Structure 1
Amino acid sequence: MSGDRPPTSIAAWKPHVPGIAEVFHAHFTDHAYPVHTHDTWDLMILDDGSVDFALDRHRHGATGTASVLLLPPGIPHDGRTVTASGFRKRNLYLDVSVLPQRLAGRAADAPVIDDGLLRHRIHQLHAALVHTDDGFEAESRLAFIRERLHSRLDALRPRAPGREANRLASELRELLDSRIRAGMSLHAAAAVLHAHPTHLIRCFKQTYGLPPHAYLTGKRIDRARRLLLDGHRPAEVAATVGFHDQAHLHRHFTRHVGTTPARYKAVSTVTRTTSPDADRPTHTG
């Protein structure tokens, strides 16, 4: 990173609001997310700068404060900075009680939403979320956001069945989901599914856009984020989610999230103050 670039900073916490798994605010100057998936919906607004990302192997871009980005669960995506100044963003990770999984295909076809009212409502929700005693307001604002997102997604044409329904890929994904901590060797999975190992990898990558090992790592990172937000120590988290040791967790977590597990845990425990922008809890890297 060059000396004149502004520092990277993040804030992350788990609010007591049903449907919101995590709030994540960040300013990245040179971070690039690897291809990964989430169990949750990623609802994002930009406060400054530009971001470039691929979703389901199609590239998209967003600039400035006009757009809303909605990345669905289970569909691979990446992300990277575009300019030297990077970008500032605010994310809400929403579970399927807010938006059902069945809408993921429609969302993947149109992840950048040009809707000023929706963006304003998301901004208002973030402002409410920095006050731990404003849970009722936050729930109310989330209800209006959910209604508007449902309306937009329901108006889109459903995606036709295709490679996502590939039987082998789906069965391998189920195996991996059931063994996130313990993991599974490729040859063991191939034996269970009665398929050649390389054919299994090709089917999975064609269907989900990333190889099985990258999918499993992303699932472990998602689980690690939740545990760190709940106050668990990185060493404990590493063993719980299936990494070999804390160093193994550290390497993959930093690559995926843009900060270390220890820093991520630290900023999530800082008491939030009244301002969602100037005074929110941050860590500067």
Structure 2
Amino acid sequence: MPRSHAALWRDPALPHVESRRACQSRACYKAHSHPTFSIGAVDAGVSHFTGAGDGQQRLTPGTLVMVPARRVHACNPEPGQAWSYQMLHVAADWLAQLRLESGLGGAGPGEPARICREPAVYRQFCELNGALFSSASIAEKDAALIAFLGDLDFSAHAPLAAAPALGASALSGLLAHIEGQDPAQLNLDALARKAGLGRYQLIRAFRAATGFTPHAYLLNARVNRGRQLLGEGQPLAEVAYRLGFADQSHFQRVFKAHVGVTPGQYRGN
């Protein structure tokens, strides 16, 4: 049987978000509220949730619950049983500003929680949390958070509007600007101002035009350039430096995630 354990992620560089993972937990919680907008996900076991406005709900693996700030709620495992879950907390004022600049609505403080049983949303949430707990850069983590929260259907009523279009010249200018950046320093705020869009709207427009978020596009471009340099016989450390990665190990992780082999294996050494 897996041991009970928990892990907390937070970073002073991203003070508006923190996340927690718990495995095989038997902890029980009294009714409470948070000053943050919170998203919980059940990974294993069964829990019972109150706070969605219509009595107690039974949550099975793959279920998400979205809890507005200051909404009283409780979520506990079945008596005598353990469960595994993830919990993300986002500062309510930061989220409100993100939704406002993107022209999106949101769940107001104290409104009922919303339960989501869509497998795709659960998978996207797990990918986001995986990124937060990973060694990805701060900029990558913040962009992943913005993309997930922008895509999230808070109301379950209003369909998401079409992504804004980027003209050919605007897209060309953004691509040139992005490709000239250090991956760890790519600034989503600056890109959004350059495009005249909100941060989430930029991500949607860029993703519609290229299939990538700006950070993913930059990493993909770096990896493709890395293939070329490695094919020319350049040393791994030199390639990592020329591509703007913080160190050789970061380059190796990104390269393998894209190509399926390490840079050394790709080069044939």
Q: Which fold has the larger relative contact order, with Cα–Cα distance below 8 Å and residues 6 or more apart in sequence?
A: 1
Q: Give the number of the structure whose alpha-carbon radius of gyration is greater.
A: 2
